[in-house]
């Protein structure tokens, strides 16, 4: 929470996008925080600043920079970055249309390494003082500029010293050291099944406690429907003198289970549809198993026990 600067919002509701809860920028930081729970050594991000204004984008990228300063590696695609955002990166992997690599190396202070590389190409115009290096590199390497200069920047990169250094670096890093050992994980999840269950149960408790409208309406309908069916089937269970009496008792049980089940299943669908996407993301991040999440849905037992108790007392 401190790393992504969300400590002041630790008790806030996430809410629905565009309706209530966290803003778009805060949601992006929360998404990053969820991925950091499993303590990954490398994080991949796809355009984290898309849809944000300049201030919000700067906050998100400051969070990304904080994560990098902890020793983690972040591979991030970026779209039309400002100068400040572009300068927050350490290295750049730059491809032209078609996927051919034309630069892979450090940016340097104030993008000096990038600017020095492209300005060394004959015919490339110098960057103007204060101009955005990200916009400049796109302009000087465009297809129109390649046709005008009669150059292929991908071929220039393959013949550069930078390419040779990168290839040697890849070859050296591809060979494990003699004292290295293979990674071995004793289990898929960092916590035991019981710990996963308790965590999911705690999360579900907060989720439904913070949704009093759904919870109150659900229990209200459960009580009303149980009392109504119990009144209709008054003392059916105590009448067992004939075959028809048994059919009446079994039919009342069937009607109660069917009616309560369909009502609760219909009411819970909007809530489950939202939680499902969250659970998919958290399970993909390795936070817990699907079985632990399913067992944590024990809140359903309360409405079932309440309905069964009321029906039983009225049908005795």
Determine the angle formed by the axes of helices 54-68 and 24-36, rounding to 10 degrees.
10
Q: What is the pLDDT of residues 169-199, one digit of tens each?
A: 998 888 887 787 877 777 788 888 889 888 8
Mean pLDDT computed over 263-279: 78
Q: What is the pLDDT of residues 43-90, one digit of tens each?
A: 898 888 887 888 888 888 888 888 888 888 999 888 878 888 888 899
Q: What is the pLDDT of residues 17-44, one digit of tens each?
A: 766 778 888 888 888 888 787 778 888 9
| Top-tier CATH class for 7-173 | alpha beta
pLDDT band at residue 164 under the 50/70/90 scheme: very high
- Can you give the pLDDT at residue 274? 78
Q: Where are the domains of the chain?
A: 7-173, 193-315
> Quick check: 285 and 35 in contact, CB under 8 A?
yes
> Quick check: 91 and 97 in contact, CB under 8 A?
no
Residue in the block written with tokens 């700067």: 58
pLDDT band at residue 115 under the 50/70/90 scheme: very high
What average pLDDT is seen over the chain?
Answer: 81
> Quick check: 218 and 256 in contact, CB under 8 A?
no
Q: Please say whether the dihedral angle defined by the alpha carbons of residues 79, 70, 35 and 211, taken in this order, is positive or negative.
A: negative
pLDDT band at residue 156 under the 50/70/90 scheme: very high
18 versus 11: which is more confidently predicted? 11
pLDDT band at residue 157 under the 50/70/90 scheme: very high
Q: What is the pLDDT of residues 116-146, one digit of tens each?
A: 999 998 888 999 988 999 999 999 998 888 8
């Amino acid at each position: 929470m401190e790393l992504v600067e969300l400590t002041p919002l630790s008790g806030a509701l996430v809410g629905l996008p565009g309706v209530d809860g966290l803003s778009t920028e805060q949601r992006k930081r929360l998404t990053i925080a969820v991925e950091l729970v499993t303590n990954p050594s490398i994080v991949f991000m796809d355009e984290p600043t898309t849809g944000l204004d300049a201030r919000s984008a700067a906050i998100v990228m400051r969070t990304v920079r904080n994560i990098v300063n902890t020793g983690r590696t972040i591979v991030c695609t970026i779209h039309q970055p400002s100068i400040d955002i572009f300068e927050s990166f350490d290295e750049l992997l730059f491809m032209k249309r078609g996927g051919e690599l034309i630069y892979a190396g450090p940016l340097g202070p104030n993008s000096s390494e990038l600017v020095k590389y492209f300005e060394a190409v004959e015919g490339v115009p110098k960057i103007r003082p204060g101009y955005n290096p990200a916009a400049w590199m796109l302009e000087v390497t465009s297809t129109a500029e390649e046709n005008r200069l009669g150059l292929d920047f991908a071929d220039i990169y393959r013949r550069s010293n930078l390419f040779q250094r990168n290839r040697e670096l890849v070859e050296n890093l591809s060979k494990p050291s003699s004292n290295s050992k293979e990674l071995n994980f004793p289990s898929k999840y960092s916590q035991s099944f019981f710990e996963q269950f308790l965590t999911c149960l705690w999360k579900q408790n907060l989720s439904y406690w913070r949704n009093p409208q759904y919870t109150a309406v659900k229990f209200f309908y459960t009580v009303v429907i149980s009392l109504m069916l119990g009144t209709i089937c008054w003392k059916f269970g105590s009448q067992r003198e004939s075959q028809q009496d048994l059919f009446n008792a079994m039919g009342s049980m069937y009607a109660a289970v069917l009616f309560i089940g369909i009502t609760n299943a219909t009411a819970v669908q909007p809530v489950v549809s939202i939680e499902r996407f969250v659970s998919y993301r958290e399970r993909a991040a390795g936070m817990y198993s699907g079985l632990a999440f399913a067992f944590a849905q024990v809140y359903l037992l309360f409405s079932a026990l309440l309905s069964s108790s009321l029906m039983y007392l009225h049908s005795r």
